[in-house]
Structure 1
């Protein structure tokens, strides 16, 4: 029987080989912290890509459970804000609302944060507590504070951390609300995505400190940005290489929308095909241009639905094979997206690592190249 330690070592070896784990102190944490303590049960997608998606409960009684815990994969731990695998016996539907993020991403982000021994870190989103335990192992309990909005998740994480002898400061509340936090930290790391950076976070991190957070939105586009706090309400930084995504923080999730009705309208030829939104950075650019729009579908069959104004854009193909777009409502969604895609293309169509961000008390702006380049304001 393969032991937990052997599986941990094998995972650490794989992450070293892939370049995701190159700091000896974080490598020791990866080898020492048992992930299964934090993920005693979870859900596995049944036939991924089908609709509606079904999830099969997975527990230690299932064959291959421990090996699955040490796959470099995100493990879903909660559906619909309350449902756990131990609550059901058969595959069930639902929306994932909590998970244990794949270890390579967790460890890569801790390394990208660049914290040193003795520095204090605020973690937004305790989740299962696995990331928190890694932080405690590397920095010491007294230097880690973690806040979790879901009381049930927080209690399970606290029990798992205590079981392993870790004692960070744990808070229950909305981590986006600075009033639940009171401290002076050297760095902040977020394990959820947000549509904009809460200004309260900048108050928690001293001048020169670091904020590492994933910006996301309702089109399902994400970008990991590393910011340096430069004063009260001020920060600046750049987006990092690779692809990073997290579940949206609950207060920043898309609000309920009415049933989608595609009424007929005047169609025009699209200058940019909708398949551009299948590209990682292309979808990111589109989301910057239309931040309240949700994206449904993919390829040539897509709909953009603006949940704030009711505006729509949807696509078809005319008799000559040209992509046609129909736009309805007060905002011409696809016109805005095409303008942004054209500016991105003119700038050389860089990956997100060619983008940066500036925060002032008046606005949060994402730009290409430098602050003089094409830019878009985030919804704050």
Structure 2
């Protein structure tokens, strides 16, 4: 068994209406003025009011930042960070999906460090003193509440960058499945497929693979295949919502200590160039990626397949395993309404530019197989052909 290093996770609180406990917990650690980071959609859906009221009822002043955007650009993070600096806040509360949580992580870094968030990409050193940070997800997808990293879009380079470290780790993650009931079918599907990508990639990584992460990844995959179609079709099904929130968190734990690879690299490129929802972008790439990885790691791709509910013959070869897993993911994409490249008007003429973005992505250095541009191009081509067959 490989040696491995497990990164400490935030305190986790799970259950219906637990989000209303945020005020008491912030007060307990001495917060007097917090910045709440969210987007206008979460506000309009009525998900922030009760939480903020519960915080204010404890005598804590709330500074509002509602300018979060999808694939949060550095300009938004800098704006929110400057507001937090100006108001001299002593706590951060993120309410929303991955974009809100990633924005809050950037704010956390900026409260203790000067300048712009683009100065603090992966590999840089920054002041580790940090502000207490609470994460309250309203989607079951990114797992960002459990991770030590965030993804920010560089507005000048039009690509995604990773921020990493202590400043990106929450003190408390509050998982209230009630907050996901209002999520429409399509974002339920895309965020759910982000969970599958996190878990499948964590289970097939090479450099940081470990049995601890694998355990959480397998359970996350099992839960996605059982409950995601139900959550998409029956948004008020509480059992499905609860289990998808657990799946997202388990996958977040898995990829924090193992990391993600190719599907996220391609997904980041599609998101940066075409603003495809992150989970949809990863879902489009994932079948081809699993098929490609099975060439050198059929054992763990087979574990992915078994967690999905597939049965394999004892003598199944790598090609058979990879094809079966790829087809099963594709079938799930179709069932829950994940678009194809064709649906998104992404043509073959854009592939060379996408490939260039993929090899610049931070995940490129974590790939389980040494992968060149022609191989990435081939994966995109296969994804395109899958789309043609479906349409």
TM interval, shorter chain, is 0.3 to 0.5
Question: Which structure has the greater CA radius of gyration?
Answer: 1
Q: Which has the higher contact order (CA 8 A, sep 6+)?
A: 2
What TM-score results when the alignment is normalised by the length of structure 2? 0.32
Flag the structure with higher helix content.
Answer: 2
What TM-score results when the alignment is normalised by the length of structure 1? 0.33
